[in-house]
Amino acid sequence: MHRVDVLVIQPIADEELAQIARLDSRLRVVDARGWFDDEIRQTWPQWSVDRYLGKRSCPPSTRAERDRLLGEAEVILGGWPFPLDLRSRSPRLRWFHQRPAGASNLLRGDLWGSDVIVTTSRGHGNTRAMAEYVLACFLHFARGLHRAYRDRARQEFEHGAYRPVLIEGKTVCVVGAGGIGQAVGSLCAGAGMRVVGTRRHVSPGDALPVGFSRVESPERLHPLLAESDFVAVCCQWTPETTGLIGHAAFATMRPGTVLVNVARGEIVDEEALIASLASGKLRGVGLDVYVGEFEHAPDPRLWRDERVLITPHVSGGSDVRQHRVVEVFSDNLRAYLDGRPLANVIEWSRGY
């Protein structure tokens, strides 16, 4: 096989870069970490730039130098945010791997729907950390801890407002029983909860994920919501899941339901969510994501509601490094060199 030029534009550790370079003598790994930051600052919304790039410094480079690297690249390891015109500037590009798990991250650029093979780290991110975030939100609202903020502001206790409930024995519906959803289900089951969920493809005889008592097709979502006390949104954002948790879904939920979204904001219809909060239907809502999170702040109506806990997409964070992006990329790189199929290839028609 010919030499394969691998361009690394995603900031990764030096040892991880060296690990990729050691994989095979046919590889020429080019370190371009941070080279495209100035372009990203000029082409992405300021909110995204401030959130994901911050004030980190970038190596000096010219547009001509960056174009030369892109022109030679056959494989690119990238992340978020990324240069929006990668396809048009990379005539030899055959495969792009993006560090995040969500395919929808790529909707803004010209790789989406192109002839380039694009893979993600789906199922290999910090799924345990995200599961702990979901359970923490469940407990936060189940114990009525959101009421403590109001008590502190007034410096006066309202004992009866807490109305704590026990999560043991309660049912949680995991919307999207993939890598993240399965980690959520396993952890919730360990806390004594009954776990049901949905998955895009369900076949008779499929083994149930650990901790799940039942997994149904997406068409059965509403009946599952009707029997659940807690809901965790963990599915991919696709045209089919846009607004999936809308007026009809909220109408089927039980009074006092707790909803947590660690997937993408666009999966939850925020107008329907706000209406459901106004009606008193929901006990609490945990949002690690919201509509338009890469461009602007959350809807003020959500931020002002004490029953809504909003965080800046940090559910995957932890003090223990668990993201296996280099491992996933390296396995795929070996497959690419051997001419074998790659894992986690985005199917443009289904959206992930």
Same domain, 116 and 178: no
Is 318 inside a domain boundary?
A: no
Summarize pLDDT for 152-194 with one digit per residue, the tens: 999 999 999 999 999 999 999 999 999 999 999 999 999 999 9
The Cα 24–Cα 16 span in angstroms is 14
Q: Quick one: tokens of 9?
A: 């534009």
Residues 97 and 185 in one domain: no
Residue 232: the pLDDT is: 98
DSSP 8-state code for residue 173: E
pLDDT at 323 over 70: no
**What is the CA 102 to chain-centroid distance, rounded?**
5
Q: How many domains does the chain have?
A: 2
Is the domain of 155 the same as that of 273?
A: yes
How far, in Å, CA of 290 to CA of 259, rounded? 13
Give how far Cα 271 sits from Cα of 178, 242, 311, Å. 27, 13, 19
Q: Strand runs (DSSP E) across 234-300, as ranges?
A: 257-261, 282-287
Residue 280 belongs to some domain of the structure: yes
The backbone region for 132, taken as left when phi is positive above 0, alpha when psi lies in -120 to 50, beta otherwise, is alpha
- Tell whether 71 and 147 lie within a shared domain: no
Q: How does pLDDT run across 250-279, given as a tens digit for each residue?
A: 999 999 999 999 999 999 999 999 999 999
Give me the half-sphere count of Cα atoms (radius 13 Å) on the Cβ side of residue 247: 2
Write out the residue range of the structural domain in which residue 149 sits.
Answer: 127-310
CB atoms within 10 A of CB 185: 29
58-91 exposure pattern, b = at least 16 Cβ within 10 A, e = fewer: beebeeeebeebbeebbbbbbbbbbbbebbebbe
pLDDT of 21 strictly over 80: yes
Q: 84-111: per-residue pLDDT in tens?
A: 999 999 999 999 999 887 788 898 899 9
List the structure tokens of 125.
Answer: 């991110």
Q: Residue 76 sits in a domain of what CATH number?
A: 3.40.50.720
Question: Is 299 a residue whose pLDDT tops 80?
Answer: yes
**Is residue 266 one of the residues assigned to a domain?**
yes
In a domain, residue 289? The reply is yes
Give ∠ CA 174-147-298 in degrees, rounded to 5. 60
Same domain, residue pair 113 and 131: no
β-bridge pairing 75-78 and 117-119: unpaired
**What is the rounded CA–CA span in Å between residue 224 and residue 212?**
13
CA 122: distance to chain centroid?
9
pLDDT at position 52 over 70: yes
Q: Give the pLDDT confidence score for residue 125 in this predicted structure.
A: 74
Residues near 209 by Cβ (< 8 Å), separated by ≥ 6? Answer: 177, 181, 182, 185, 186, 197, 215
- Clarify whether residues 288 and 186 are in a common domain: yes
Inside any domain, residue 301: yes
| C-alpha angle 148-152-157 in degrees, rounded to nearest 5 | 70
**CA-CA distances (angstroms) from residue 157 to 23, 146, 160, 165, 280?**
61, 13, 9, 19, 22
- Asked whether residue 28 is domain-assigned, the answer is yes
- At residue 2 the predicted structure's pLDDT band, cuts being 50, 70 and 90, is confident
The whole-angstrom separation of Cα 86 and Cα 5 is 15
Residue 281, beta-bridge partner list: none
134 and 74 share one domain: no
What the block records as the tokens of 42 is 């000029």
